[in-house]
Amino acid sequence: MMRYKATISYDGTKYVGWQRQKNGLSIQEVLETAMQKVFGCEVECTASGRTDAGVHAEGQVIHFEVETGIPADKIPFSVNNCLPEDISMLACEVAPKGFNARFSAKRKTYKYSIYYSRFPLPMLEHTHYRSTVPMNVEAMKEAAQKLVGTHDFKCFMAAGSNIKDKTYRTMYSVDVEGKDNVVTITVCGNGFLYNMVRIMAGTLYYVGIGKLTPKDVGRIVAQKDRAAAGKTLPAKGLCLVSVEYGDGDQNTSEDSLS
Amino acid sequence: MMRYKATISYDGTKYVGWQRQKNGLSIQEVLETAMQKVFGCEVECTASGRTDAGVHAEGQVIHFEVETGIPADKIPFSVNNCLPEDISMLACEVAPKGFNARFSAKRKTYKYSIYYSRFPLPMLEHTHYRSTVPMNVEAMKEAAQKLVGTHDFKCFMAAGSNIKDKTYRTMYSVDVEGKDNVVTITVCGNGFLYNMVRIMAGTLYYVGIGKLTPKDVGRIVAQKDRAAAGKTLPAKGLCLVSVEYGDGDQNTSEDSLS
């Protein structure tokens, strides 16, 4: 058996998320079904991490093992022939020694997109959160810098999470960009707690509409005050942009990125 | 009865086009059904022009007549409550005297979007045409200028059209923009023949991939040579951006914009 590393992209609108579930169709199920057609046997795909229902991916990374005569770089052509329009394989290679899509991941980049409009804009609606008031992008940029660095992000974790300790994460960059009526928040970190990006986005959004100040955000991070942080923005505005792996690609992450 | 002018936007993916048809759901039908719920009576909507199945709109303009106590600027809130996520009313006002969404239109702006990628990108797939080879944007920009001005655009009309004469149209601007892997062609003109924008886009695309030169495009326009023009690109890459009306808003267009 050979292990492969592949990059996939999906529009998560119609799916229950990455992971197989009994209550609906998942990206994983559709992908594994396509692979079964191509390779003639069951294939299990392991992703860098789950994405929730409605979350999109431009560059999710997976690994899978299979015995096949198809050269690695031709696998995307074969697999895409069996995939619907909203899921696509963008690259495939033989995995480096010891590579694990989940445990070898060093950094992940997510983006959260918000647009301002009094009324829904159908061309943006399934990939953006809509704000009915304009946002102060400069204030959001300033607040974003309070999130950069290594912090205990307990206050940016969904209430239902069962992680108690190990809530420290390092954010290498948190960038806010405004263009026309769209604001994009791009976060690169070594790992994310459950719903963390959506709560960070909600907190920066509150700064954008004047419900919080950049100073408040610094205080929330320092005091780990979940109640003071912003609301969890909806899944549809979130997109996993890319996953980076180290040169060695051994299992070096202590905790799993999620 | 009061006549209203409204701007609407739609993601055309799931629809048979603007106009009511027996073989499927149209934007017009969904919109008129929503208005019937809001106003309690049948309402007929007239658009600036039809859009084909799969074509999108950021700023389609319509008119309709109704007797209602709802102030014009509140109508979008009421109507949007009865519309699905992929159709939205963005503005509504009492129509100027003599206004007709179709016959008063002076200029329309369309954009056609193309992306380059070896493999389908799900986040772009339903709003862009995909090129599997990179495009020469500079050559496309140069060729676009050959289309600006008043020409007999017979060669950029779908074969099945029943228009024989009156095939002259004026293009005020034809702009090509390249950003990362996406090329956008934006065309503003006083009217368009059937499939004209999609054939213009196909011709500029052929220049982009080296199948035609900018000089060829000048010759095609001058010689009205449909066979030499590019293929008709698919509907999903096309979007009606905006419709402009004159100050007077009387019926001054000789032919209907389509």
Is the pLDDT confidence value at A41 over 60? yes
Question: Which residue of A lies nearest to B120 if distances are taken between CA atoms?
Answer: A88
Query: Do B140 and B27 meet the contact criterion of CB atoms below 8 Å apart?
Result: no
| Domains of chain B in sequence order | 2-103 (3.30.70.580), 106-244 (3.30.70.660)
Q: Give CA angle at A200 (A56, A161), nearest 5°.
A: 80
* Continuous segment of H or E residues that includes residue A207: helix A196-208
Which of the pair, B226 or A187, is modelled with greater confidence?
A: A187
Q: List CB contacts (< 8 A) between A76 and chain B.
A: 118-119
Q: List CB contacts (< 8 A) between B11 and chain A.
A: 122-123, 125
Residues of A known to be catalytic: 52
φ, ψ (nearest 5 deg) of residue B215: -60, -40
pTM for this prediction: 0.91
Tell me if A11 and B123 make a contact (CB, 8 A cut-off): yes
Q: Which of A10, A76, A119 sits opposite B119 (nearest CB)?
A: A76
pLDDT digits (tens, 9 = 90+) for A121-167: 999 999 999 999 999 999 999 999 999 999 999 888 877 666 667 88
Question: Which residue of B lies nearest to A56 if distances are taken between CA atoms?
Answer: B123
Q: How far is B163 from chain A (nearest CA, A)?
A: 32
The ipTM assigned to this model is 0.89
Is the pLDDT confidence value at B76 over 90? yes
Residue B191: the pLDDT is 93
Please tell me the distance from the alpha carbon of residue B9 to that of residue B15, in angstroms, as a whole number.
Answer: 13
Tell me if B119 and A89 make a contact (CB, 8 A cut-off): yes
3-state secondary structure of A166: coil
Name every residue in A having a CB less than 8 A away from some CB of B. Answer: 9-11, 56, 58, 76-77, 80, 85-91, 117-123, 125-127, 239
- B164 band by pLDDT with thresholds 50, 70 and 90: low
Residue type (1 letter), A67: E
Smallest CA-to-CA distance from B7 within B73, B90, B87, B88 is with: B90
Kindly list the distances between the CA atom of residue B227 and the CA atoms of B154, B157, B159, B231, in Å, as whole numbers in the listed order: 11, 11, 10, 9
Please tell me the distance from the alpha carbon of residue A91 to that of residue B109, in angstroms, as a whole number.
Answer: 37
